[in-house]
Amino acid sequence: MIHLGAWAILPAAILGFLVGGFWYGPLLGKAWQAARGLSDAQLNSANMALIFGLTFLLNLFSAAALAHVMDFTGLTGLHYGVMIGGVAALGFIIPAMGVNYLFARLPLKLFLIDAGYWLVIYVLMGALLGLIL
């Protein structure tokens, strides 16, 4: 049986957080901003310390939940980590987001940016956990 610990969950949460900074920054930040209809002034007026702090805590929670699933199944290694992370994103997170985006009438481009982020971080967190656990 795998024993969970910060030594496995913390790096996965940090990875998810860092990927988010790149995804919503230099990679797709402007496209996301336009799809959300946010001005530079709106973005600059946000409490970024609170947003980043809570984002990291939520990534920590997601990494812990993913590690718990891997612990429960006993499946480890790169292949299983990628598979479990991908199934979590494609089977649960992205469809739930899709329902919300449809009813909120949010643009497809925004959905693809946000869904892509969750798919990428869950696959990467799963891969890292699979290698560490």
Q: Is residue 84 part of a domain?
A: yes
Q: Where are the alpha helices (DSSP H) in 23-47?
A: 29-36, 40-44
Q: Which of 1, 7, 47 minimizes the C-alpha distance to 128?
A: 7
Residue 118 has pLDDT above 70, yes or no: yes
- Whether residue 106 is contained in a domain is answered as yes
1 found inside a domain:
no
Looking at the domain assignment, is residue 81 inside a domain?
Answer: yes
Q: Residue 8's pLDDT band (boundaries 50, 70, 90)?
A: confident
How large is the average pLDDT for residues 99-125? Answer: 98
Burial call 55-83: b when 16+ CB within 10 Å, e when fewer:
beeebbebbbebbebbbeeebbeeebbbb
Residue 113 included in any domain: yes
Distance CA 22, CA 41 (A): 21
Domain count, the chain: 1
List C-alpha distances in Å: 73 to 48, 51, 53, 105, 129. Answer: 37, 33, 31, 37, 13
Q: What is the pLDDT of residues 16-72, one digit of tens each?
A: 999 999 999 999 999 999 999 999 999 999 999 999 999 999 999 999 999 999 989
pTM equals 0.92
Give the range of the structural domain holding residue 70, as residue numbers without chain letter: 6-132
27 falls within a domain: yes
